[in-house]
Amino acid sequence: VGNATRYAQGRVKVVCSFDAETCRVDVEDDGPGIPEEDWESVFTPFARLDDSRTRASGGYGLGLSIVRRILYWHGGQAFLGRSDMGGAKFSLVWPRKQSQTNKP
C-alpha cells in the first residue's frame, strides 16, 4: 500500500476477498504503472526501477521480495499486473488453510 500511495496520482484501491480455498489482497493505483518487462524484476531483492529513490531517500528495494518470500512460505504467491485505473495492480494470494507439507 505504501508503494501504491507513493506512485499514485490520486487514487489507491485495496480489495480484500476470500473464498473457500484462498485469501486475496489486491492493491492498485492510478499512477504510471510498471512496464510489463519489469514485472518480475520488482520482486528481486534490492531492485529499484525508480532512480529518484535511493537508500538515503528511503527504502532498500527489499519490501516486495520479502512479501513474495513470506507468501511462498505459506503456499501463496505475489504477482503484478495492470490496474483498470491505469497503474500497477499487485495481487497477494494464499491458502486459507496451511497444508501439512508447509508446516515445520
- Round to whole Å and give the CA distance between 27 and 38: 18
104: in domain: no
How would residue 97 be classed by pLDDT, with cut points 50, 70 and 90?
confident
User: DSSP H helical segments within 1-104, as ranges?
Assistant: 2-7, 63-73
φ, ψ for residue 15, nearest 5 deg: -125, 125
Classify residue 103: in a domain, yes or no: no
Q: Give the domain CATH number at 33.
A: 3.30.565.10
- Count of structural domains, the chain: 1
Domain hosting residue 28, numbered range: 2-50+58-97
Q: What is the pTM of this model?
A: 0.80
pLDDT in tens, 2-53: 889 998 999 999 999 999 999 999 999 999 999 999 988 888 888 766 654 4
